[in-house]
Amino acid sequence: MAKAIDQNRVVTAAATTATATIRSDQIVEPSHNFTLTASFEGLNASSYDALVILGGRAPEYLALDELVIKLVKEFMEVGKPVASICYGQQILSAAGALKGKKCTAYPTVKLNVVLGGATWLELDPISRIW
């Protein structure tokens, strides 16, 4: 279940997700409660409403995978929402999806962002949540 705050009330909604891997022997830690439901082979943007690319260190490897790049390009071409977190921008850069965008992430991602055609933003660190 996902929870979102809307006009001072909590709204609960369910969403079906697909968690894919490029390696058949990939292990996802049980504490994450993910079930691998697909591989990138055979996935297409028409089956999904949006794409969220998580951060961490996996994107530097996923950005080298042709099937991953093809999928990202499909999402971009049909205008579906695409979001990335931190290192996920490495995949967007490899797919040519950052041209004209404004981005920030962990500093080691800056080169990928700039070479991908985006403007790098140096934002002040967030010091509090609320």
Domain residue ranges in the chain: 2-120
pLDDT in tens, 35-92: 667 778 888 889 889 999 988 888 988 999 999 999 999 999 999 999 999 899 999 9
- Does the domain at 2-120 match CATH 3.40.630.10? Answer given as no
Which pLDDT score, from 0 to 100, does residue 129 have? 60
CA angle 25, 29, 33 (to 5 degrees): 115
Beta pairing partners, 2? 13
Q: How far apart are CA 86 and CA 73, in angstroms?
A: 19
Number of CB atoms found within 10 A of residue 70's CB: 14
Which pLDDT score, from 0 to 100, does residue 122 have? 87
The backbone torsions φ and ψ at residue 38, rounded to the nearest 5 degrees and listed phi first, read: -165, 165
Residue 15 pLDDT > 90:
no
**Burial class, 44, CB count within 10 angstroms (exposed 0-12 / middle 13-18 / buried 19+):** exposed
Residue 7 backbone class (left: φ over 0; alpha: ψ -120 to 50; beta: rest): left
- Residue 15: both structure tokens together: 């969403």
Q: Do 97 and 73 contact (CB within 8 A), yes or no?
A: yes
**Mean pLDDT, residues 110-115 taken together:** 95
